[in-house]
Structure 1
Amino acid sequence: MRKGDRYFDNYAYANAVKHYSKAYDKMNNEKAERSLAISYMKMSSPEISGSYFSKVVNRSSPAAIDYLNYAKVLMETGKYEEAIPWIEKYLAFNENDLLAQLLLASCKSVDERYIDTTLFELTPVPTDDFSNSFGTVTYKNGTVFTADKEVFSGNRKSQWTGKSYLNLYYMEKGENGNWLPPSALKGDINGSFHDGPATFSKDGKTVYFTRSNYYKNKRITNDENICNLKIFKASLVDGKWKNLEEYPFNSDDYSVGHPTLSEDGKTLYFVSDMPGGIGGTDLYKSELKNGKWSAPENLGETINTRGNEMFPYIHCDGSLYFSSDSHNSMGGLDVFITYFTGEEWATPENLNYPLNSSKDDFSFSLNEDNITGFVSSSRTQADKIYAFTKKPPTFNLYGFTRKKGTQIPVSNVTIKITEATSGNVIEMQSDEEGKFSLQLEPESEYLLLCTKEGCFTRTDNISTLGKKYSEDFYADFEVEEIIIDKPIVLENIYYDFDKWDIRPDAAKELDHLVKLLQDNPQIEIELSSHTDSRGADNYNLVLSDRRANSAVSYLISKGISKKRVSSKGYGETQLVNQCSNKTPCSEEEHQANRRTEFKVTKINK
């Protein structure tokens, strides 16, 4: 246990687990169990970590943080439902913990991350010679990435992971399209400890990269025995990276790393845990003014959380991509996108599955074509590089033509679909089942015109403008024959007692009639109003006439020609049931007589 503690306190988790495992096999005590759980969590082995945490939280005296850590590794293994009660147990002790609240919200909304699984197509990049590989950026005719390897006896290794220290490598494709063997970057860029990830100037002659804090093969640590990260700059001289310079805001007391450079080379974005931040690690930017980098500026609480924001990438269009283990993450790190509106950063948006997973997904980079790029992920138990292709969302229209008021299909209905911008028209017929379908284009607007000889024409509008996710649209057309002087009841047209003003709820129903008249410009109608038998006959006649006039005035106010509509109040002269004067009837029976109708009086050519 003492040896394990010594390695653990020095962040040498790979060595710590060897000794803790021996102690646990002999002692089976809670301290060894908990130390193993944390060590494996630090080494990004959530399955093993979870197996130990499951025992820790069920012992007699777990710490509240154990509940939260157990929930985190459960999320990383996709067990969101199981994670929820453990986060809630933690919040019972720390109800104001914003990070835990974010994680709880993420677990409860994880289904939203699968809203459209077709938008990215991922392909593993073969880096079999490496244990972990990530941080891929386009450079010259290929890519530069960061990776470590298995360590053999006598070679230097990272005590945290048990692997080699990270180095930067270049790789490009051959004539057959296959990736060629990678080679380490030459010059002074790959040193004795960690190097990478990196970002390059547009001309490819300057690199900014992350490096462990060391001098002449000796690590430099702070008071907590942490070897922090720094950002260095190097220049390409005769094919080798030379003239190393430190970023002026490096520190022995905190880390700065994961640089990404704007296209014009004047803004550097990076991650740091410097004092005054919002969470564990935050995103910052620094601007090059008169040859000097300005003091780091925190990107603010819209982007940075109480958790960890890392691996920023600024695209040439100004979009900022980064990874976070908070916001609405699926577990571990997820990739998010935001952009600067001119006044503030937009709310980050999760790029969802399959780009993101329950494991760590990070080091996103996008090529200038805005379609292809790279992302790194630990979804296969180690950090691996994936090439991706962005796919446009797909939109499908499914239509159904049916007899009005029924589900009886009507075939051979003509549907004309016009794309607004181009004016292109697609015409089709509903089949024997009354169905029709069409694949729609992104960023388009469509007008649907449904016609059948002797029937009312119906229209609908469908838009895919601004829609980011695939979606199916459904058009339901009722087919109704036009019969001269056949009354058609307008449902839900109500008036206040002794009033004839058009109420807001009645206006909504009259809007349907407005649309019918707009879709069928060849028809003229009479709009009529009816009352029940209660009240004086003459009074009911006057009231119904005023109501009919009021409805017609509403249609005219919506652009319908007054030549096409007439009004008539019938009072109680056309009852639809037996409820005449002095006949006892229920309220429902009287309601049937209080109605508004229209009928087609003429069909013009």
Structure 2
Amino acid sequence: MRNTCLGLVLGLFFLAGCSVSKKAEKSYANAEYDVAINQYQTLVKKNPRDPNLNYRLAEAYKKSNKIGQGMPYYRAAIQNGIDDEMAWFEYAQSLKAVGKYEDAKDALNDYLLKASTPSIKKLAEDDLASLEKLDLLKDRESYYRVKNLETVNTPAAEYSPVYNKGDLYFTSNRDGGKVYKATGTGFTDIYSVKTRGAVVDLTSLKALDPIINDPGVNEGSVAFSPDGYTMIFAKGNTGKSSDAEQINLFFTRYRNGRWSTPRPVNVNEPSSWDSSPAMSPDGTTLFWASDRPGGLGGSDIYSATLNNRGRWVDIRNLGPEINTAGDEAFPYMAEDGSLYFSSNGHPGLGSMDIFVAKRQGGAMRVDNLGAPVNSEGDDFGLFLFNPTRGFFSSNRPGGKGDDDIYTFVNDDPNLKIINFHLAGTTVTPGVTGTDEILGNTKVRLLDEKDDKLISETFTGDDGSFNFQVFGEENYYLVAEKPDYFTTRIDFSTVGKTPDRSTLTELITNVTFETKIRLEKIIMQKPIVLENIYYDLDKDDIRADAALELDKLAQLMRDNPEIEIELASHTDDRAPDDYNLDLSDRRARSAVRYLVSQGINASRMVARGYGETQLIIKEAQTEEEHQVNRRTEFKVTKYDKSKFIIEDEDQPGSLQDDEFDKYFKRGNGGEQE
């Protein structure tokens, strides 16, 4: 009887344990991480040596933004034989989050002795290399002064400060209403407060309209258009299992004293996390973070360009110079083109550090801002009030609560900012021979070294464009529009940088001007190739002719939608048959050269016309004969279906009419 009772008791205990375990797994699967923490803690107390339960508890802490508290459970999982090698890497991250850098190094070194998963081994090696650089970061001289913005912060979370038209906007869960089960705190809303720099008028503090803030949904980081009347912000996480992982970007317009109904931005990826938006100073580029498929790590930073229809197009990942196998988020572009962002994948002092990426000499350089801006905690969401002052967020020790907003001042005595701009116009030859404006044209700025895209824009009706460029670099400008030849010109800032020692102002603006001329594609219209010369009675391509044919090869690469006839002509000072044969050989020689430069032979036809198409019928001088001895091409086929200037069918919703009109009228603001 005693054994029977004991078996019954053990059976009930087992069933109860299974019930708790299933509940914990369900909570974790539904992204209710704070709920899962309490449930896993109960299980771990009863089974302290279970490696999987300890690891799951540690991961729940990490996913609720408390990775430091997960540290002892990662350690317990490893000590009790966890199979998942990722536990070692996450353990090192938790040690870094509490400032135990040497212990993090030891953990990574121990793991690398037994590592067998290449991807995790690479993460560990990179992280160890980052830790080895910590002393350099700590010892580097810093001119930053940092201060907690105590008048705004509370024991709750305040983060992602953005200044706009006299107001400081930020995100907070200070309301303390309905609990978000992932973190165990309230849902976040967007707030604003009047401020002059760091001087805050707390009496003006208010949550944004209910049309923006939903009590059962998390609202996140915000970004504003240059005129301050269009806001893009993150919204998602209702707490329901059906959409627990989905965060999207929305936009709204301020008109008639209120914000309009938010609409989705057309860059959102279904079932992905799209958040922390930022706009370039001119409002033509959107940056944001996303964990969509195809990235380089957890979350990557992406960009999109505003076209002339008010849609964000040409979505692209910023690539391995910015993004890593870790997480990158909270981008912000300054007036000088510097891109600030937060990352736990680049060498840093803690979990998330703030970095700045600047182009220098044709390459992107990424630097950690160092202490005191960065700490062992999460540091993120930087915004510049002006070139020497700004705001950022941090959950570092010593704050008033969870995430706090901090202000900073940069006292660097040698800080001299030079803003380079390239202003231009797209034109086309008019019927009278003078240039006419060619509006609604896509213009791309490319690195001359490798044709890598740096920036792109669409000209308005006035044909104007403006790019941020950088000192001591060489570029290509490529303009494209349906029914016109895609045209490429070069531009350089090499040798044009002012001597910094002579500058007396904090900010110096340097603007260059250029013009891109696009020719309309007219079928069968001959276009003469200048300076294509051949030696007497020869068809060999001379070096000077090769230079000109290289330009045609580039035109063919830039215009894959065209096929051409390449024609050679002679003067009339030899027999007809001889001239016809010579011109045919010269035309075929030119086509062979273009094929050697990578142009598909099927796109070209060689034809010699001899003296049958003289421009000057009775040429007398050598100059007149030279006019007749010409090489030219004409377009014989134009397949417009191959001309892809943008993807009109990108996933996501269209912008509404008001947003479309706003951008078409040139970012003109609407007064309250």
TM-score by length of 1: 0.60
The 2-side partners of 1:205 and 1:394 are apart by: 35
Paired residue for 1:359, among 377, 393, 417? 377
1:273 matched to 2:291? The reply is: yes
Whether the 8 Å contact between 2:285 and 2:305 is mirrored in structure 1 is: yes
Go from structure 1 to structure 2 and tell me whether the alpha carbon gap of 1:384 and 1:176 turns closer, same or farther (over 3 Å shift): closer
What SS does the aligned partner of 2:146 have? strand
User: Which structure would you say has the larger Rg?
Assistant: 1
1:102 matched to 2:126? The reply is: yes
What SS does the aligned partner of 2:260 have? strand
Match of 1:211 in 2: 235
The 1-side partners of 2:139 and 2:198 are apart by: 36
Question: Once the 2 structures are TM-superposed, how far is the Cα of residue 172 of structure 1 from its aligned partner?
Answer: 2.1
The 2-side partners of 1:174 and 1:306 are apart by: 39
Question: Once the 2 structures are TM-superposed, how far is the Cα of residue 33 of structure 1 from its aligned partner?
Answer: 2.2
Question: Once the 2 structures are TM-superposed, how far is the Cα of residue 90 of structure 1 from its aligned partner?
Answer: 3.3
Correspondences of 1:5-404 after superposition (within 5 Å): 5-30=25-50, 31-91=52-112, 92-95=115-118, 97-116=121-140, 118-126=142-150, 127-129=152-154, 131-149=156-174, 151=176, 155-173=177-195, 177-181=199-203, 182-186=205-209, 188-191=211-214, 192-212=216-236, 221=242, 226-291=244-309, 292-340=311-359, 346-367=364-385, 369-380=386-397, 382-392=402-412
The 2-side partners of 1:256 and 1:444 are apart by: 43
What SS does the aligned partner of 1:180 have? strand
Match of 2:573 in 1: none
Question: Once the 2 structures are TM-superposed, how far is the Cα of residue 290 of structure 1 from its aligned partner?
Answer: 1.1
Bigger helix share: 2
What SS does the aligned partner of 1:243 have? coil
Whether the 8 Å contact between 1:130 and 1:147 is mirrored in structure 2 is: no
Question: Once the 2 structures are TM-superposed, how far is the Cα of residue 328 of structure 1 from its aligned partner?
Answer: 0.9
The 2-side partners of 1:27 and 1:265 are apart by: 55
Question: Once the 2 structures are TM-superposed, how far is the Cα of residue 22 of structure 1 from its aligned partner?
Answer: 2.0
Question: Once the 2 structures are TM-superposed, how far is the Cα of residue 340 of structure 1 from its aligned partner?
Answer: 4.2
Whether the 8 Å contact between 1:187 and 1:242 is mirrored in structure 2 is: no
Whether the 8 Å contact between 1:150 and 1:163 is mirrored in structure 2 is: no
| Structure 1 counterpart of 2:391, one-letter code | F
| Structure 2 counterpart of 1:371, one-letter code | T
Question: Once the 2 structures are TM-superposed, how far is the Cα of residue 226 of structure 1 from its aligned partner?
Answer: 3.6
| Structure 2 counterpart of 1:63, one-letter code | D
| Structure 2 counterpart of 1:389, one-letter code | V
Whether the 8 Å contact between 1:142 and 1:173 is mirrored in structure 2 is: yes
Deviation digits for residues 208-259 of structure 1 (CA, Å, limit 9, x no counterpart): 1111167xxx9583xxx64311111100023321132211121322122211
Go from structure 1 to structure 2 and tell me whether the alpha carbon gap of 1:162 and 1:95 turns closer, same or farther (over 3 Å shift): same
RMSD across aligned C-alpha pairs, in angstroms? 2.6
Structure 1 range deviating more: 319-328 or 98-107:
98-107
Structure 1 range deviating more: 231-240 or 244-253:
244-253
Question: Once the 2 structures are TM-superposed, how far is the Cα of residue 104 of structure 1 from its aligned partner?
Answer: 0.6
The 2-side partners of 1:213 and 1:250 are apart by: 15
The 1-side partners of 2:84 and 2:241 are apart by: 33
Deviation digits for residues 459-503 of structure 1 (CA, Å, limit 9, x no counterpart): xxxxxxxxxxxxxxxxxxxxxxxxxxxxxxxxxxxxxxxxxxxxx
| Structure 2 counterpart of 1:162, one-letter code | G
Correspondences of 1:560-575 after superposition (within 5 Å): none
| Structure 2 counterpart of 1:211, one-letter code | K
Structure 1 range deviating more: 14-23 or 307-316:
14-23
Whether the 8 Å contact between 1:220 and 1:252 is mirrored in structure 2 is: no
The 1-side partners of 2:200 and 2:302 are apart by: 37
Aligned-pair identity (%): 29
Match of 1:597 in 2: none
Go from structure 1 to structure 2 and tell me whether the alpha carbon gap of 1:391 and 1:94 turns closer, same or farther (over 3 Å shift): farther
Deviation digits for residues 524-570 of structure 1 (CA, Å, limit 9, x no counterpart): xxxxxxxxxxxxxxxxxxxxxxxxxxxxxxxxxxxxxxxxxxxxxxx
The 2-side partners of 1:61 and 1:177 are apart by: 51
The 2-side partners of 1:37 and 1:62 are apart by: 15
| Structure 2 counterpart of 1:164, one-letter code | G
The 1-side partners of 2:175 and 2:192 are apart by: 19
What SS does the aligned partner of 1:279 have? coil
| Structure 2 counterpart of 1:105, one-letter code | A
Whether the 8 Å contact between 2:328 and 2:341 is mirrored in structure 1 is: yes
What SS does the aligned partner of 1:121 have? strand
Whether the 8 Å contact between 2:350 and 2:376 is mirrored in structure 1 is: yes
Match of 2:529 in 1: none
Runs of 5+ unmatched residues, structure 2: 1-20, 416-498, 503-672
Go from structure 1 to structure 2 and tell me whether the alpha carbon gap of 1:174 and 1:110 turns closer, same or farther (over 3 Å shift): closer
The 1-side partners of 2:410 and 2:128 are apart by: 30
Question: Once the 2 structures are TM-superposed, how far is the Cα of residue 337 of structure 1 from its aligned partner?
Answer: 0.5
The 1-side partners of 2:206 and 2:221 are apart by: 15
The 2-side partners of 1:185 and 1:271 are apart by: 23
Question: Once the 2 structures are TM-superposed, how far is the Cα of residue 42 of structure 1 from its aligned partner?
Answer: 2.0
The size of the alignment, in residue pairs, is 388
The 2-side partners of 1:102 and 1:150 are apart by: 40
Go from structure 1 to structure 2 and tell me whether the alpha carbon gap of 1:213 and 1:85 turns closer, same or farther (over 3 Å shift): closer
Question: Once the 2 structures are TM-superposed, how far is the Cα of residue 150 of structure 1 from its aligned partner?
Answer: 6.4
Go from structure 1 to structure 2 and tell me whether the alpha carbon gap of 1:53 and 1:219 turns closer, same or farther (over 3 Å shift): closer
| Structure 2 counterpart of 1:362, one-letter code | F
Go from structure 1 to structure 2 and tell me whether the alpha carbon gap of 1:174 and 1:65 turns closer, same or farther (over 3 Å shift): closer
Go from structure 1 to structure 2 and tell me whether the alpha carbon gap of 1:298 and 1:159 turns closer, same or farther (over 3 Å shift): same
Go from structure 1 to structure 2 and tell me whether the alpha carbon gap of 1:227 and 1:61 turns closer, same or farther (over 3 Å shift): closer
Question: Once the 2 structures are TM-superposed, how far is the Cα of residue 276 of structure 1 from its aligned partner?
Answer: 1.6
Whether the 8 Å contact between 1:233 and 1:247 is mirrored in structure 2 is: yes
The 2-side partners of 1:85 and 1:174 are apart by: 47
The 1-side partners of 2:285 and 2:388 are apart by: 24
| Structure 2 counterpart of 1:250, one-letter code | N
Whether the 8 Å contact between 1:213 and 1:252 is mirrored in structure 2 is: no
Correspondences of 1:594-605 after superposition (within 5 Å): none
Deviation digits for residues 361-405 of structure 1 (CA, Å, limit 9, x no counterpart): 1001112x201101111113721110111121699xxxxxxxxxx
Kindly indicate whether structure 1 or structure 2 has the higher relative contact order, using CA contacts under 8 Å at least 6 residues apart. Answer: 2
The 2-side partners of 1:166 and 1:200 are apart by: 19
Whether the 8 Å contact between 2:155 and 2:402 is mirrored in structure 1 is: no
The 1-side partners of 2:46 and 2:275 are apart by: 41
| Structure 2 counterpart of 1:234, one-letter code | T
What SS does the aligned partner of 1:123 have? strand
The 2-side partners of 1:226 and 1:342 are apart by: 44
Question: Once the 2 structures are TM-superposed, how far is the Cα of residue 122 of structure 1 from its aligned partner?
Answer: 0.9
Whether the 8 Å contact between 1:219 and 1:227 is mirrored in structure 2 is: no
Question: Once the 2 structures are TM-superposed, how far is the Cα of residue 171 of structure 1 from its aligned partner?
Answer: 1.3
| Structure 2 counterpart of 1:311, one-letter code | F
Go from structure 1 to structure 2 and tell me whether the alpha carbon gap of 1:130 and 1:236 turns closer, same or farther (over 3 Å shift): farther
The 2-side partners of 1:47 and 1:150 are apart by: 25
Structure 1 range deviating more: 126-135 or 382-391:
126-135
Runs of 5+ unmatched residues, structure 1: 396-441, 446-605
Question: Once the 2 structures are TM-superposed, how far is the Cα of residue 187 of structure 1 from its aligned partner?
Answer: 5.1
Whether the 8 Å contact between 2:168 and 2:195 is mirrored in structure 1 is: no
